Amino acid sequence: MEDEDNGSSTHSFRENDCGPWIEDQLDLDSKVDPVAERLHEIAWRLGVAHKHNDPGELLFLAIAKSKLDVLKELVEQFNVDVNEHDGMGRTPLSRAVDAGHEETVEYLLSNKTIQVDAADKDGLTPLWSALKQFGSISTSSIASSLIQRANINTPNNTGEYPLLWAIENRVGPSTKQRGKYGSFQLGPPKKSVLSHLLDREDLNVNQIDSKGRSALFLAVETQNQTILEELLKREDIKVNLLDQDWRTPLCLASATCGPSMVETLLRHPEIEVCSVDKNGRTPLVWSIVNGRVKNMKHLLKIGNQAINIPDKAGRTPLSWAAEKGNLTTVELLLNRAGIDKDKKDIGGRTALSWAVENKTRGNVTKNGFFTPQQEHERIVELLIETEGIDNNSEDKNGRTPFSWAATNSNFSIVTYLISCGHVAIDRPDINGRTPLSWSAEYKNIDVVECLLSSKEVNANSKDSSQKTPLSWATCEGNQRVMRTLIKKDTDTLYAMVLEQPEQPKQVKLLLDAGYDACQLDPRGRTPLHFAVSAGNIESAKLLISYGPRSINMKDDGGSTPLSLAVTKSPVLAKMLVENGAETDNIQPSAWFHGNKDSMDNIICVSKQGATQRLQYMTRDNFMEELAKPPPSDPPRTRLLLCKDSPPPWEHGSLLGFKKSPNDVNLRMDMQLYTDPGSYHKSLHFLLETSFPGSFNPWYLKKAEDIDSGPTTISCLAIQHSKSSPGPGSQSADFLSTLQNSKIPDDGAEFLIQFLNAVETRWNRLLRRAEKHIRERI
């Protein structure tokens, strides 16, 4: 019953309920959009399935998948816009170029509404997309197709032109395809992109890039003979366009290319052989500078118009050939009619002046029979022997060709110039510098030795700055030249130690090279005399170190370095004394001449063993020093002299002596002193005398004599007791107003110095008295 009911029930549903549902479905189907259905079908063919399909999106998808039939259907039946940009700003034609499907590109180009030059979001047109991808047969063909329709005279977003880009990147026909087993020929060569560009009558072949380079210039730069010839066939080609350096294609070809390109350019009737670049250089000059002899010959066949054209530096082709060319280039120019053989440039230099220098040159000629050095020598010889060339011509600095050769040339050329007898080998320039000076500075030892062997050369010549050849040679790494010049030099070290500011490094270099620190000049002066007189402390230190015996050497006037130092600098005086300078003949007042503005008015010269010292001090320092106990070993002897009068020790009051109540002219006194604090004992010995300051009696006294009082000499000797018993020397201090600076060996010598001074003064006074008596009585 249930089965029947179920079955009846089911059967009843199908008959009674399904009918209306099916009718509804059929009615719904009859309402489906046939366009959407077709787009859905196209999407299914392209491998995508969307409920809603945009025709434009399907168009770009068809292009990407190279489905030409779908593309045609979308364009022709659905009227899809072939110039619409996708979401990334690309056009259908641009996408077709990317896909590399030639038929797709051709189809789009056949559409009359296509905008061939529409740029993508990144600024690239379809043509530029094809050129940038250039490298396969498909892109070559695509580019060629685009060239037929595109605007080929408009630059891209970076300012590049199709023609210039294609030449610079060497874009040509592609006839081979790479395969698994190598490359194989596809067929006859296809017409190149460049050929398609050149076929366009509206092509502007005179476009220039940001560097001023034209198509013709780039053909030369890439050395593309085929393109060069194709461009020259164009009637509208301008063959003399200048790049940013004002160079023409011929100028560049003359410098960098083989003779065939130069010949090709020279055949053009409008070519300018004498064009000049921004430096004023012609194609002829560039062929010479770069060693392009064949190019040079081709240029000279046209005529002699350019043989004397100077560049902005005033240099002619012969000048450049002499410096950088080879023998052939020089000979070719010298043999041309009308050549100016001795023309000077703006610096006053001639071809010969440039020829003598050692510079990199062009290829060696004569099939290798000459080495580069031999070729260089032959060029110089040729110019020297040519009539009409001044072998001693001076440039604006007064330098001759030989002066330049001595600076920088092969030694063989220098010896040739000396031996030929046609050049002056010791002529100074306007600054007084000779060839020897230049060769010494540039470390040319062979040249220096050769010049010094000639009697014509003065090894001690001085230039306008008073520098000798040795002065110029004094530098690091030039010891050989310095040692050679030192043998004949007489002046350099003296001049160098006088320089302000001083040059201790230079002085040391000379001394290290073997210069005699004690060498005497014609007046008996050593270099130390000069250094001290200039106040050059560091130079003096070096001279003392290298020539200690010069410390006490006297010049012809009797002056020692110390006698000069005390008038110049306390530092120099101290340095000399401490290095063993003898102080005997220095007047006490002289110690203070170089220290006039100082508060120091007492000097102390001391000896302790082998050590000698000089100390400047004030009166307060003096009292402190005097109170200090002397050193125990070795004993010390000091001489103290005062700048002013009276000295602090006059009449002995400093050490407790009382002034004599009687008017005595000679006083000697002695006392023993014991320091209560240290029990140090010392013996104090006073020597004092006075005598009239002037002999003239009162009725004959001159105005300047009226206030002159007696002259007093006060001397004190302090003998310190020894710290240990036994024989041996004792420390002593001598406080003197005597007119010498000799440190006494002991008290006895000090007494003798005192008595000698008294005798000298009284003798002088007695002689004046004798003269007065003889004149008056």
Q: What is the pLDDT of residues 152-164, one digit of tens each?
A: 998 988 889 999 9
pLDDT category of residue 712 using cuts at 50, 70 and 90 = confident
Which of 223-232, 360-369, 613-622 is predicted least confidently? 360-369
Phi and psi based region of residue 265 (left: phi greater than 0; alpha: psi -120 to 50; beta: remaining): alpha
Q: Is residue 765 within 8 Å of 691, Cβ to Cβ?
A: yes
613, 725: one domain: yes
Residue 510 domain flag:
no
Number of other residues whose CB lies within 10 A of the CB of residue 740 = 17
Q: Is residue 214 within 8 Å of 223, Cβ to Cβ?
A: no
pLDDT category of residue 663 using cuts at 50, 70 and 90 = low
- Cα–Cα distances in Å, from 309 out to 276, 286, 306, 320, 330? 9, 13, 5, 12, 16
DSSP 181-234: TEEEE-SSPPPPHHHHHHH-TT--TT-B-TT--BHHHHHHHTT-HHHHHHHHH-
Residue 108 domain flag:
yes
- pLDDT reported for residue 480: 97
Q: What share of the chain is helix, strand, coil (3-state, %, to 5)?
A: 45, 10, 45
Q: What is the mean pLDDT of residues 354-379?
A: 73
Tell me: pLDDT of 693 over 80: no
Minimal CA–CA distance to 440: which of 467, 400, 410?
A: 467
768, 627: one domain: yes
Q: What's the rounded Cα separation, in Å, for the pair 718 and 710? A: 26
Residue 282 domain flag:
no
Residue 419 domain flag:
no
Most confident listed range (39-43, 340-344, 671-675): 340-344
pLDDT category of residue 346 using cuts at 50, 70 and 90 = very high
pTM: 0.75
CATH for 93: 1.25.40.20
Q: What's the rounded Cα separation, in Å, for the pair 19 and 21? A: 5
Tell me: pLDDT of 458 over 70: yes
Three-class SS state of 248 = coil
Q: What's the rounded Cα separation, in Å, for the pair 357 and 335? A: 23
Q: What's the rounded Cα separation, in Å, for the pair 699 and 75? A: 146
Residue that finishes a domain, picked among 173, 202, 231:
202
Rg (CA), the chain: 53
Q: What's the rounded Cα separation, in Å, for the pair 67 and 103? A: 10
Q: What's the rounded Cα separation, in Å, for the pair 444 and 356? A: 15
12, 124: one domain: no
H or E element at residue 776? helix 747-776
Residue that finishes a domain, picked among 186, 202, 218:
202
Q: In total, how many domains does the chain have?
A: 3
Residue 546 domain flag:
no
Residue 612 domain flag:
yes
Phi and psi based region of residue 234 (left: phi greater than 0; alpha: psi -120 to 50; beta: remaining): beta
Q: Which domain holds residue 103?
A: 81-202
17, 112: one domain: no
735, 646: one domain: yes
181-225: per-residue pLDDT in tens? 344 444 555 678 888 899 999 999 999 999 999 999 999 999 999
- pLDDT reported for residue 405: 96
Tell me: pLDDT of 178 over 80: no
Q: What backbone phi and psi angles, to 5 degrees, belong to 682? A: -150, 150
Residue 732 domain flag:
yes
19, 85: one domain: no
Q: What's the rounded Cα separation, in Å, for the pair 484 and 486? A: 6
Q: In what order do the strands lie in the sheet with 666-674?
A: 611-617, 602-608, 636-642, 732-736, 711-720, 681-691, 666-674
- pLDDT reported for residue 4: 41
For the chain, how many residues are written? 777
- pLDDT reported for residue 8: 40
624, 764: one domain: yes
For residue 728, give both structure tokens: 């041996």
Tell me: pLDDT of 177 over 50: no
737, 638: one domain: yes
Query: Average pLDDT over the chain, rounded to whole?
Result: 87
Residue 95 domain flag:
yes
pLDDT category of residue 709 using cuts at 50, 70 and 90 = low
Residue that finishes a domain, picked among 168, 202, 236:
202
Minimal CA–CA distance to 539: which of 563, 559, 569, 567?
A: 569
Q: Please say whether the dihedral angle defined by the alpha carbons of residues 435, 441, 442 and 447, taken in this order, is positive or negative.
A: positive
Tell me: pLDDT of 176 over 70: no
Cα 737–chain centre separation: 61
Q: What's the rounded Cα separation, in Å, for the pair 472 and 96? A: 75
12, 159: one domain: no
pLDDT category of residue 697 using cuts at 50, 70 and 90 = low
- pLDDT reported for residue 184: 43
- pLDDT reported for residue 34: 84
Residue with tokens 């000797």: 717
- pLDDT reported for residue 167: 93
What crossing angle do the helices spanning 411-420 and 372-385 adopt, rounded to 10°? 20
pLDDT category of residue 374 using cuts at 50, 70 and 90 = confident
123, 20: one domain: no
25, 162: one domain: no
pLDDT category of residue 362 using cuts at 50, 70 and 90 = low
pLDDT category of residue 370 using cuts at 50, 70 and 90 = low
617, 729: one domain: yes
Which of 75-89, 455-469, 537-551 is predicted least confidently? 75-89
- pLDDT reported for residue 768: 81
- pLDDT reported for residue 10: 39
Cα 372–chain centre separation: 30
Amino acid at 641: L
With a CB cutoff of 8 Å and minimum separation 6, the contacts of 260 are 225
Which of 215-219, 511-515, 544-548, 631-635 is predicted least confidently? 631-635
- Give the residue with greater pLDDT, 625 vs 478: 478
